[in-house]
Amino acid sequence: MTLAQAVVAGAEPAELARLDVPTTYRAAHLRKDEVGTFDQDEPDKDVRRTLHVGEVPMPELAADEVLIAVMASAINYNTVWSAMFEPIPTFAFLERFGRTDPRHDLPTHVLGSDAAGVVVRTGGAVRRWRVGDRVVTSPAYVDGEDPVVQHDGMLAADLRAWGFETNFGGLADFAVVKATQLLPKPRHLTWEEAACNMLCASTAYRMLVGERGARMKQGDVVLLWGATGGLGGYGVQLVLGGGGIPVGVVSSPEKAELLRRMGCPHVIDRGQFDDLADEKAWRRLGAEVRRLVGEDPAIVFEHTGRETFGASVYVARRGGSVVTCGSSSGYAHEYDNRHLWMKLKRIIGSHGANYQECHEVNRLISLGLLQPTLSAVYPLTGAADAARAVQLNQHVGKVGVLALAPGEGLGVEDRELRERVGEDRLRLFR
Ligand code: NDP
């Protein structure tokens, strides 16, 4: 029996520890010799051309690392960026990282920043995790020897997004993570439900709730772009859970309907604003928010970038905040600074979430207070199609990928909690 088969069969930890780690494993990866695939101005950089699934070499494990047998993973937008080689090829990250850890600088880059699975090996310095533990991963790959990590891991100089700026990511049958990325798998979720949350949920948590984010309080009006997307689906839930008033922006009646089913009281279809770069459209958006809620947003949840940023700065209320973690439509933003300074607004940059924030989010999920937003599930062999769906904005919530899990619906341990939360809430995005 192979190690992978033993994991799938639910073998005891002693059996997992006894079986050999394979020398190669199946993974969704990019190839360095394909970096020039797309012309700079190519209109459709189709990720299916560059994202491959095949065998890659198994790395050695460092003392502070853990090898996970991955049951399921999920697509994040960074996999789309990586496979387009935008804004720069991720092999540049791997080369730089390779100067201090040569294992990562390879002709293949295994992608994926989310995973749920079973620990099958621990490095010599790992104390809190054991072979056989069922885990989910947080995406921040941080050197624990950097003093600032004890203040806020996201300020670490060598912070890396796992599976984007490091190799050996989660879209694979095995993955290598630091022990400080591990969290216990929520026991009431399936593998694919557990695997889809951490990156987006924790990023949204830090943006809205975290000490260094917008620090939402009860009653705050929060405008969320992409409100049924990866980040937005958790953002809306966190606003509702924290007593705020979400105003969700989406681009279709189907998404608007999903938002209402989530309990979002105010929904805006961005289709009605033809050009959000234009101040007239900002004014109309602001008027629409006032019409719906009666006041301007205290917080604008931004990740959409160039096409929306000017509007976001404009519609935030006097003294309000625009909190941003991304730029899907372009990262060179333009906005009218008069609206910012004259009305004492703030722009807050946010990135990922530190280990403690990930722990807080995992706790909410494990208590059944924050639900997965899984909408579709692909096999690992279909990872490129899954990433393509996200690239084309054809999805809602999160798109899952099964790795070693032989099918959907497996991995649930706490059926009682699952029943209490309810299948309808757990499957709202399906
Ligand atoms: P998704 O693709 O799942 O969702 C994004 C949503 O944004 C879509 O559902 C879409 O909703 C909306 N959208 C897309 N383009 C536009 C546009 N031009 N104008 C307005 N709305 C738009 O992605 P994620 O939510 O997972 O990620 C969003 C961004 O945030 C990405 O750029 C990603 O890289 C970044 N990110 C950054 C993180 C960090 O730690 N720094 C972590 C996670 C994500 P609709 O069409 O319905 O309006």
Residue 205: inside a domain: no
Q: How high does pLDDT run on average in the chain? A: 97
% of the chain surpassing 90 pLDDT = 97
Residue 293: inside a domain: yes
Q: Which of 349, 373, 401 is a domain's end point?
A: 349
Q: In terms of Cα–Cα distance, which of 321, 366, 367 is closest to 340?
A: 321
User: Quick one: pLDDT at residue 47?
Assistant: 98
Residues 50 and 193 in one domain: yes
Residue 207: inside a domain: no
The Å distance, Cα 328 to ligand 1 centre, comes to: 6
Residue 222 has pLDDT above 90, yes or no: yes
User: Quick one: pLDDT at residue 277?
Assistant: 85
Contact 110, 171 (CB under 8 A): yes
Identity at 302, one-letter amino acid code: E
Residues 17 and 144 in one domain: yes
Residues 221 and 304 in one domain: yes
Query: What Å distances lie between residue 54 and 38, 83, 171, CA to CA?
Result: 21, 15, 11
Contact 399, 390 (CB under 8 A): yes
d(CA 308, CA 249): 11
Residue 221: inside a domain: yes
User: Quick one: pLDDT at residue 262?
Assistant: 98
Question: Ligand 1 pocket: which residues have CB below 6 Å?
Answer: 76-78, 199-200, 203, 225-226, 228-232, 249-251, 255, 270, 303-304, 307-308, 325-326, 328-329, 351-352, 390, 393
Can you give the residue range of the structural domain that contains 10? 3-200+353-426
User: Quick one: pLDDT at residue 144?
Assistant: 85
Residue 107 has pLDDT above 90, yes or no: yes
Residues 41 and 98 in one domain: yes
Residue 53 has pLDDT above 90, yes or no: yes
Identity at 216, one-letter amino acid code: M
Nearest CA owner, ligand 1 atom 28: 303
Residue 274 has pLDDT above 90, yes or no: no
The Å distance, Cα 198 to ligand 1 centre, comes to: 16
Q: How many domains does the chain have?
A: 2
- The answer to whether the Cα torsion of 376, 380, 383, 384 is positive or negative is negative
Atom of ligand 1 nearest to the CA of 249: 48
Residues 53 and 156 in one domain: yes
ipTM of the prediction: 0.99
Helix (H) or strand (E) holding 257: helix 253-261
Residue by residue, DSSP assigns 174-233 as EEEEEGGGEEEPPTTS-HHHHHTSHHHHHHHHHHHTSTTTT---TT-EEEETTTTSHHHH
Residues 288 and 335 in one domain: yes
- Note the pLDDT tens digit of each residue in 151-190: 999 999 899 999 999 999 999 999 999 999 999 999 999 9
Atom of ligand 1 nearest to the CA of 80: 34
Mutate to test the pocket of ligand 1, among 47, 75, 77 (most ligand atoms within 8 A of CB): 77
Residue 402: inside a domain: yes
Query: Mean pLDDT across the stretch 125-144?
Result: 96
The Å distance, Cα 9 to ligand 1 centre, comes to: 37
Q: Which of 349, 368, 385 is a domain's end point?
A: 349
Contact 350, 216 (CB under 8 A): no
Residue 20: inside a domain: yes
The Å distance, Cα 390 to ligand 1 centre, comes to: 9
User: Quick one: pLDDT at residue 83?
Assistant: 98
- Note the pLDDT tens digit of each residue in 286-334: 999 999 999 999 999 999 999 999 999 999 999 999 999 999 999 999 9
Residues 82 and 130 in one domain: yes
Residue 206: inside a domain: no
User: Quick one: pLDDT at residue 369?
Assistant: 98
Residues 297 and 322 in one domain: yes
- Strands across the sheet with 346-349, in order? 266-269, 245-250, 221-224, 299-302, 321-324, 346-349
Nearest CA owner, ligand 1 atom 16: 304
Residues 193 and 233 in one domain: no
Atom of ligand 1 nearest to the CA of 328: 32
The Å distance, Cα 21 to ligand 1 centre, comes to: 37
Helix (H) or strand (E) holding 324: strand 321-324
Q: Which of 349, 370, 392 is a domain's end point?
A: 349
Residues 175 and 278 in one domain: no
d(CA 158, CA 416): 42
The Å distance, Cα 229 to ligand 1 centre, comes to: 6
CATH number (domain holding residue 345): 3.40.50.720
| The length of the chain, given as a count of residues | 430
3-state secondary structure of 157: coil
Helix (H) or strand (E) holding 28: strand 24-31
- Note the pLDDT tens digit of each residue in 349-401: 999 999 999 999 999 999 999 999 999 999 999 999 999 999 999 999 999 99
Residues 402 and 262 in one domain: no
